[in-house]
């Protein structure tokens, strides 16, 4: 796959990014069927396949169980082969999520992610919103703390995995990139994508295949075509632990982009 610019960050990402929640967490998730967390061999093989297929973007989070730690242990090749996106703000413990957007937690979370991922820098760090996007951006110290960490060289670009139109528009103004929801059944955040394109900000799309609820090859193709018809989209994140699904998704996205 040909890499695409992530806005004006200078970072190049594959149009398909691998979501890794299933590497470390199978509680309180919204997928249509239950699944078992894969063993190390299966994760290692899936990551190697991802690299072979041209994927360089990996999406993880502290709230994804031990996903970060497993990536730090199992990612193949050079660190520079990968663009790693992680998050701050959500903590998942004992089967429940809680949120902390304080300066102290934000810094500690980034430092912990660096240790778990066995790296001295993070490419992308996103605020893991619980839905109160504007309040988080305007009243919590998390964004200022991430800016400081960026100045210290511990991360390359900052953004938010937002949940509201108003919040997403503010993210476009204040951050380097936004992660927004877009799919065939939900297009309310299209103004966020347009604003990001106009401002030269990066766009990562989440839930493009409706968290696994979209069925059939034709549906996947239609959804990918719809997403990449939108302005400014750099990559869509798709979580899978199934090699066949990964291959078919890459084939589909290559077919969609070949026609553009």
Banded model confidence at residue 73, pLDDT cuts 50, 70, 90: very high
Does residue 85 register a pLDDT over 90? Answer: yes
State whether residue 94 is helix, strand or coil: coil
- Rounded to an integer, what is the distance from CA 234 to the centroid of its chain? 11
- Asked if residue 81 has pLDDT above 90, the reply is yes
Band of residue 189 on the pLDDT scale cut at 50, 70, 90: very high
- Concerning whether 64 is annotated as a catalytic residue, the answer is yes
- The average confidence (pLDDT) of the chain is 95
Contacts of 32 (CB under 8 A, 6+ apart): 211, 212, 213
State pLDDT tens for residues 20-34: 999 998 888 877 778
Is there a contact between 193 and 165 (Cβ–Cβ < 8 Å)?
no
What percentage of the chain has pLDDT greater than the value 90? Answer: 89
**From CA 223, how far away is CA 111, in angstroms rounded?**
37
Looking at residue 137, its pLDDT comes to 98
How far apart CA 93 and CA 86 sit, in angstroms, is: 17
* CB 143, CB 174: distance < 8 Å: yes
Residue 163 pLDDT greater than 80, yes or no: yes
The average pLDDT across 54-60 equals 98
Q: So what's the pLDDT on residue 126?
A: 98
Q: Where are the domains of the chain?
A: 4-258
**Tens digit of each residue's pLDDT (9 = 90 or more) over 122-158:** 999 999 999 999 999 999 999 999 999 999 999 999 9
DSSP letter at 175 equals S
Facing residues of 91 across strands? 98
Q: Decide if pLDDT at 230 tops 80.
A: yes
Model confidence at 40, in pLDDT bands (50, 70, 90)? Answer: very high
The per-residue pLDDT for 41 is 98
Segments in the chain forming alpha helices (H): 40-52, 67-74, 103-117, 133-139, 142-151, 165-174, 190-199, 217-228, 243-258
Spatial contact of 157 and 202, defined as CB atoms under 8 Å apart: yes
- CB neighbours (10 Å) of residue 86? 29
Q: Is the dihedral of CA 100, 60, 224, 198 positive or negative?
A: positive
Q: What is the pLDDT at residue 256?
A: 95
Looking at residue 29, its pLDDT comes to: 83
Residue 103 reports pLDDT greater than 80 = yes
What is the average pLDDT across 238-260?
94
Share of the chain above pLDDT 70, in %: 99
Quote the pLDDT of residue 32. 76
Residue pair 112/86 in contact (Cβ under 8 Å)? The answer is: no
* C-alpha–C-alpha distance, residues 260 and 16, integer Å: 16
Q: Tell me, what's the pLDDT at 28?
A: 82
Which of 31, 64, 121, 186 is the catalytic position? 64
Q: pLDDT value at position 70?
A: 98
Least confident window among 2-16, 88-102, 209-223: 209-223
183-186 — which CB contacts under 8 Å span 24+ positions? 183/207, 183/208, 183/209, 183/210, 183/214, 183/223, 183/226, 183/227, 184/210, 184/214, 184/219, 184/222, 184/223, 184/226, 185/210
Hey, what CATH topology would domain 4-258 get? TIM Barrel (3.20.20)
- pTM equals 0.95
What are the helix (H) ranges across 16-128?
A: 40-52, 67-74, 103-117
Residue 66 in this model has a pLDDT that exceeds 90: yes
What is the token pair recorded at 33? Answer: 């069927």
């Amino acid at each position: 796959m040909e890499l695409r610019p992530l806005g004006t960050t200078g970072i190049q990402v594959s149009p398909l990014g691998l979501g890794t929640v299933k590497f470390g967490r199978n509680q309180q998730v919204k997928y249509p069927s239950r699944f078992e967390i894969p063993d190390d061999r299966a994760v290692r093989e899936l990551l190697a396949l991802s690299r072979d297929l041209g994927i360089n973007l990996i999406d993880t989070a502290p709230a994804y169980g031990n996903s970060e730690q497993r990536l730090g242990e199992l990612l193949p090749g050079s660190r520079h082969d990968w663009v790693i996106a992680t998050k701050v703000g959500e903590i998942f413990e004992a089967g429940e999520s809680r949120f902390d957007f304080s300066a102290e937690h934000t810094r500690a979370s980034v430092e912990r992610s660096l240790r778990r991922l066995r790296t001295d820098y993070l490419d992308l760090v996103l605020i893991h919103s619980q839905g109160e996007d504007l309040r988080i951006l305007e009243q919590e110290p998390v964004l200022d703390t991430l800016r400081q960490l960026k100045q210290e060289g511990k991360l390359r670009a900052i953004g938010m995995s937002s949940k509201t139109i108003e919040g997403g528009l503010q993210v476009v103004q204040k951050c380097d990139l936004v992660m927004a929801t877009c799919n065939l059944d939900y297009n309310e955040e299209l103004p966020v994508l347009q604003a990001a394109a106009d401002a030269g900000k990066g766009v990562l799309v989440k839930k493009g295949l409706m968290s696994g609820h979209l069925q059939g090859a034709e549906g996947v193709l239609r959804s990918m075509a719809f997403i990449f018809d939108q302005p400014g989209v750099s990559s869509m994140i798709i979580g899978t632990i199934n090699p066949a699904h990964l291959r078919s998704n890459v084939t589909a996205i290559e077919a969609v982009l070949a026609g553009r």
